[in-house]
Structure 1
Amino acid sequence: MSLKSHRNTILVEEAKILAHDTYKSDQYVLWVSAPEIAALATPGSFAHIQCDSSLPMRRPISIMRADPKQGWLEFFYKAVGTGTQLLAKKAVGETISLMGPIGQPFQLDSKYPRPLLLGGGVGIPPMIFLADLLRHNIYYKPLVLMGSEIPFPFQQKPSQYIVSGLPSEVIGAMPLLENWKVPNRLASFQGYPGCYEGYVTDLARFWLTSLSAPQRQEVALYACGPHPMLAATAKLANEFNLPCQVSLEEFMACGVGGCAGCTVKVHTEQGPAMKRVCVDGPVFDARFVFT
């Protein structure tokens, strides 16, 4: 994928902040009006955000939701460095510069009507975006599993949907997904009520083991999160012989493929190659990244 192939699809837009909510552990949900980017955004894509006029380097943040009709975007991020700490100070009514949407999105395959979505920490947003897409297609029956070692950026609630194959005491769920009628469960080592005590990939294994062989043949894995979680997800996919796509997290400078500062080594059918996470990814076939 060349930078030229993204011409006319990566836009720069001044976005007005509509809401900016704060959660525990320096977590934020940012809601902005950006109709041009919202019209093109897809699950797995991100925006390169100018956090403050005093900081020329932009920061890549995954898109959590997009409404092309109403023209808004929603982001979830954690303030961990200078850029995101400056972004956290932005108030409703202010404008910020967005560049996007950037990146290759998740690809659905009708051969696998049971998508299993795994999100960890700040890797949760792309899974929300993907679930939003899937809920509008009755052919797919997604299950979303999310893990975090800090408080979730929402008030969890007991799920109203039974998920066969999961421990009966694991009932913690995200209200937004519940409202969408998308089955989901939470995992953590922090002892949060209703959450699975362990890694989100262990919860996924628990569910996959409960399926019959024909049911497992309908499953495809989609994941975003920290590198160790993605490696465990790839191992899980290999264990059960499942297709798997992962969205990588990487430090980025330009965000549009020009600087090649976010390259990772992947294994293609033609042999080893260096790929840019920003425009060649961030979504890759897990087989090519983890061997």
Structure 2
Amino acid sequence: MKPKSHRGTILMEDCEVLAHDPHPGDQYVLRVTAPGIAPRATPGSFAHLQCDPSLPMRRPLSIMRVDARHGWMDFLYKAIGQGTRLLAQRKPGEKISILGPIGQPFQIDPAYPRPLLLGGGVGIPPMVFLADTLRRDKQFKPLVLMGSEVPFPFRPRPSQFLIPGLPEGAIGAMPLLEDWKIPNRLTSLQGYPGCFEGFITDLARHWLQTLDPAQRQAVAIYACGPHPMLEATAKLAQEFDLPCQVSLEEFMACAVGGCAGCVVKVQTSQGPAMKRVCVDGPVFDAKAVFA
């Protein structure tokens, strides 16, 4: 079916399931055809999926990977409720109605060529998408740190990259990012082999403390994950006087700005304001959200 335009830039598309792979911790990686949506997607944007024809209410999922040329998208999600558990039953060859791309993405600034990407749990997908975008521009040298309290949805392997200042033994890495030649490390409090034992912001602080002032001025932080992690990330950015963008996670109904069910309080130049995470975000300046 030809995709239909929705609100000017958002498309509604019937997408075929190409692959749907289960992983430990009730996690799934879903790949769908999306020739209309994929070329428009940018890091930080998300899509609204119809989980099952029997369930009218859609579910918002962050976009993890896109291939604009071949017209497909990947989503990583955790089956935790009725909708996502129904979604987990969808099989290759089936069609899923998808709205997307939705939301304000991360703003990549060439003034900060050493991006620090922090992804916690279901906040990992936007960081993978952002890393994929950054690697295509040779001026950027990203470092990606990812944390999870359930098994990672991939088999970690020892990193090929030496990162000065990181604790000895913190060698676990995501194979996909390693193949992309992007330095990365994993964190967890669950004692997973090769992972840093602690919070993702603790590992980020280890790295930032190794940089001299000139190197630190080249760093900008991009983060997505649970609210406590983002709040800690905002404090970390303030501690080192770094620019920081955060992608918020909120429950959504319409996801296109109509219901105002996902509003958050944000500081603006005119004072406090209520902003919709779906269309005014999900990416915001950390100072605006965690003032």
Quote the Cα distance in structure 2 between the aligned partners of 1:289 and 1:269: 13
Quote the residue 2:99 is aligned against.
99
Q: Which amino acid aligns with 1:288?
A: A
Q: Which amino acid aligns with 1:194?
A: G
Shift of 1:14: 0.3
Shift of 1:277: 0.2
Question: Which runs of no fewer than 5 residues in structure 2 stay unpaired?
Answer: 1-5
Quote the residue 2:54 is aligned against.
54
Give me the TM-score of the superposition, normalised by structure 1: 0.97
Quote the residue 2:248 is aligned against.
248
Quote the Cα distance in structure 2 between the aligned partners of 1:268 and 1:183: 35
1:241-290, CA deviations, whole angstroms, 9 ceiling, x for partnerless residues?
A: 00000000000000000010000000111100000000000000000000
Quote the Cα distance in structure 2 between the aligned partners of 1:50 and 1:228: 29
Shift of 1:208: 0.3
Quote the residue 2:201 is aligned against.
201
Quote the Cα distance in structure 1 between the aligned partners of 2:102 and 2:13: 13
Shift of 1:169: 1.5
Quote the residue 1:284 is aligned against.
284
Quote the residue 2:126 is aligned against.
126
Quote the residue 1:3 is aligned against.
none
Shift of 1:164: 1.4
Which shifted more, 245-254 or 163-172?
163-172
SS at match of 2:257: coil
Quote the residue 1:216 is aligned against.
216
- Given the alignment of the two structures, is residue 160 of structure 1 paired with residue 160 of structure 2, yes or no? yes
Shift of 1:162: 0.8
**Structure 1 stretches of at least 4 aligned residues deviating more than 3 Å after TM superposition:** none
Quote the residue 1:74 is aligned against.
74
CA RMSD of aligned residues (A): 0.7
Shift of 1:233: 0.2
Q: Which amino acid aligns with 1:256?
A: V
Quote the Cα distance in structure 2 between the aligned partners of 1:35 and 1:156: 31
Quote the Cα distance in structure 2 between the aligned partners of 1:148 and 1:267: 30
SS at match of 1:15: strand
Shift of 1:168: 2.9
Quote the Cα distance in structure 2 between the aligned partners of 1:118 and 1:94: 34
Quote the Cα distance in structure 2 between the aligned partners of 1:151 and 1:9: 36
Q: Which amino acid aligns with 1:159?
A: S
1:201-257, CA deviations, whole angstroms, 9 ceiling, x for partnerless residues?
A: 100001001110111100000000000000000000000000000000000000000
Quote the Cα distance in structure 1 between the aligned partners of 2:220 and 2:7: 31
Q: Which amino acid aligns with 2:217?
A: Q
Quote the residue 2:109 is aligned against.
109
Identity, % of aligned positions: 72
SS at match of 1:35: coil
Quote the residue 2:272 is aligned against.
272
Quote the Cα distance in structure 1 between the aligned partners of 2:28 and 2:285: 29
Quote the residue 1:35 is aligned against.
35
Quote the Cα distance in structure 2 between the aligned partners of 1:133 and 1:162: 22
Quote the Cα distance in structure 1 between the aligned partners of 2:73 and 2:8: 19
Q: Which amino acid aligns with 1:237?
A: A
Quote the Cα distance in structure 2 between the aligned partners of 1:45 and 1:66: 11
Q: Which amino acid aligns with 1:126?
A: P
Quote the residue 1:170 is aligned against.
170
Q: How many residues align?
A: 286
SS at match of 2:20: strand
Quote the residue 2:86 is aligned against.
86
